[in-house]
Structure formats: structure tokens, C-alpha cells
Amino acid sequence: AILILWIPLKQQPGIGTILNAIIIAAAIDLTLPYLPHPSSYPIQVFQAIIGILVTGLGSGTYLIANLGAGPRDGLMVGLQKKTNLPIAIVRTILEITAVTSGWILGGMVGLGTVLFVFGIGPSIAIGLIVVGKMSPKP
């Protein structure tokens, strides 16, 4: 459904769009059993923050490859190009919208959700900068 929103933003799906869903799902399934499940709340928060930062770096890496973005990432890129707002702000607005919709439908919103909502946009922006500086220029 989100891909339909790409049409007015002139975003094009690519192989990265398909691989986004497959690779992320497989990576979660493969790594989740091996990740520690800390009982200490501060360690849980720390682990969530590290996860958000790693996700941002990963997003920056695959977006720089320019092989097609995942559904929400493509929406983020299209809206950023249309509005000229910083990518961090655009992504945060998208996450606030998604979480608010989920909450209205009865979903839970916890600290991890809030950390993700306000952390993923800046993390992706940092990831794009870091990976962009390391990438060869054409």
C-alpha cells in the first residue's frame, strides 16, 4: 500500500525494494536467537539504542547503493526531494504518523517505540553521511 504513495513522488522500485523485505526478514530470523536478552532495564534501553544506530547505518548503506529503496525508505526519499526538508525530519514525521496510526488502532507504544520514532531519522541521516563519505564519487 505504501508503494502506491511513491507514484506522485516519482519514486521507482528496484531490486533493492524486493531485497529489502527478504533480507531484513531473514536477518532478523537468523540473528534474534543469538542476541542477548538482558534482564536489566538500562541494558535493554542501551541495546535498543545500539539497534537503532545499526539500522540507520544499514539504511544509509543500502540507500547509497541506489538499487531501489524499501517501501517506507522510498516514501522518505521521495518526500525529502519534494519538500527539501532534512531526511531526519522527514523520517521522524513518517514514523510519528505510523506509530500514531497504530496507537489509534489499539497498538502499544513503549519506550523502545518512542526511541525508534525519534532516533531512526537522525540515525539514517548519519548513516547516509558516513557511507556517502566512504563511497567513491562517479
Name the grid cell of 35: 542476541
85: pLDDT confidence band, cut at 50, 70 and 90?
very high
Q: pTM of this prediction?
A: 0.86
From CA 117, how far away is CA 52, in angstroms rounded?
10
Domain-wise residue ranges, the chain: 2-134
13: pLDDT confidence band, cut at 50, 70 and 90?
confident
Span 17-42, pLDDT tens digits: 888 888 889 999 999 999 888 999 99
Q: What is the DSSP letter of 4?
A: G
Span 46-64, pLDDT tens digits: 999 999 999 999 999 989 9
Q: What's the pLDDT at 12?
A: 83
Span 90-137, pLDDT tens digits: 999 999 999 999 999 999 999 999 999 999 999 999 999 999 888 777
For 3, 40, 120, the CA distances from 93, given in Å and listed in that order, are 17, 31, 11
